[in-house]
Amino acid sequence: MRREIDLLDFLAGQLTDVETAWSIGTFGAIAEFTRDAGERTVVDRDAGSVQAVTTRGGIRIEAREALRPIASEALTAQSWSQRVALCLPQEACAMNGRLVLTEIGPDCDALRATDRAAVLFDLGLGTLQLDACVRTDDKPLIAALRYWVGQSLFAPGNGAMAAILAVSPHRVFLSRVGRVEVFQPIPLPNGRSPDGPHTHILPKLLRHNRTHAATEALPAGWVPCAHFYPPHPTRNALGQPHPFQAGHHAAFQALLARYGDPELVDVKRHVAESVAAGEAPSGIPITAGRFGRACVRVTLRQLRASEPSSPALTAWLSAHDRIDLNEPGESADDHPCTA
């Protein structure tokens, strides 16, 4: 029990940071929760969970006995991403795995009391660690969804998604460690997702049947049931670049040292020390496979962003990370919450 209390203290501390983004989802379906500085937020905590709710959406995270935070970094087009996955063992992470649209009934666990009489429908995506749902008290929409209950959302001629898009009900994404609720409207097809809480469902990615992106370094047997994304040193939560923030970088490196893969943490240390000593880039053995190679590149990009270039760093970048050193811009896939 002491461990769960300590873990909940840790998660509550992360949730109070307005710059930290959160998500619950899987590869191809994700709900994101962010909020703006100064945005009115109701934060509540009980013995086993902590939640935050705004007028645009909310999140609840629960401290489970087997819950394991795993911090990692990954390459993006010209930068890097950073995240902490809240993982459960594969045998403990499974949700309901429904394959067809299913009426669940009143959402008694809704974040707000005013939403607990509304009806929850599981979209039937069949994903391991996620139940992706919509919630509504709109009677015509409830009737329309009941008509399509028992059928796949992706079956030819199924009109359930059209009905959902027309009314834009709340989206409720559930895992074994909590839920994200999105109150904002669903954007029109080919429209831009709104700032703040929103969801993505991408059928092409869902067909891969992956629990997470292949670029995320997670140990075998552990499944991410939620993520949080601490403030990035070089860009904000919308992916917009800003000057390097040493405090943000140091804070995540501390999380990485505590919750990351020790082998990759050691690779980072070795690369940084070798560059600082002016050593040649050919002298370091990489034994952690493709994640180790990616770790070298991430470390070099961080060194490039955090301090003036040196002949040694230039040589290392040329040997291990041949990006355009004169073009530091970001791209769309650098967003921290990309599924």
Rg (CA), the chain: 21
Tell me how far apart the alpha carbons of residues 213 and 2 are, in angstroms, rounded to a whole number. 32
Q: Residue 57 pairs with which residues in a beta bridge?
A: 182
φ/ψ of 15, rounded to 5, equals -70, -25
Please say whether the dihedral angle defined by the alpha carbons of residues 264, 275, 282 and 74, taken in this order, is positive or negative. Answer: positive
Q: How many CB atoms lie within 10 A of CB 289?
A: 10
Q: Which residue type, as a one-letter code, is found at position 224?
A: P
Per residue of the chain (339 residues), what is the pLDDT tens digit?
677 779 999 999 999 999 999 999 999 999 999 999 999 999 999 989 999 999 999 999 999 989 999 999 999 988 999 999 999 999 999 999 999 999 999 999 999 999 999 999 999 999 999 999 999 999 999 999 999 999 999 999 999 999 999 999 999 999 999 999 999 999 877 778 889 999 999 999 999 999 999 999 999 999 999 999 999 999 987 788 999 999 999 999 999 999 999 999 999 999 999 999 999 887 666 666 889 999 999 999 999 999 878 999 999 999 998 764 443 333 333 344 433
Q: pLDDT by residue (tens digit) across 233-255?
A: 999 877 889 999 999 999 999 99
Task: Report whether 299 contacts 271 (CB < 8 A).
Answer: yes
User: pTM for the full model?
Assistant: 0.92
Q: pLDDT by residue (tens digit) across 71-119?
A: 999 999 889 999 999 999 999 999 999 999 999 999 999 999 999 999 9
The pLDDT of residue 284: 66
The pLDDT of residue 326: 42
Tokens matching residue 313: 């760093």
Question: What pairing do the DSSP bridges indicate for beta strands 170-175 and 178-182?
Answer: antiparallel
Tell me how far apart the alpha carbons of residues 23 and 256 are, in angstroms, rounded to a whole number. 19
Q: What angle do CA 37, 52, 104 make, to 5 degrees?
A: 135
Tell me how far apart the alpha carbons of residues 49 and 146 are, in angstroms, rounded to a whole number. 32
- Dihedral angle of Cα 292, 74, 130, 159, to the nearest 10 degrees: -130
Tell me how far apart the alpha carbons of residues 3 and 7 are, in angstroms, rounded to a whole number. 6
Helix and strand numbers (H, E) in the chain are 8, 14
The pLDDT of residue 198: 96
Tell me how far apart the alpha carbons of residues 34 and 22 are, in angstroms, rounded to a whole number. 7
The one-character DSSP state at 235 is B
Domain range list for the chain: 95-174, 261-334
Considering only CA atoms, which of 209, 201, 218 is closest in space to residue 260? Answer: 218
Task: Report whether 255 contacts 84 (CB < 8 A).
Answer: yes
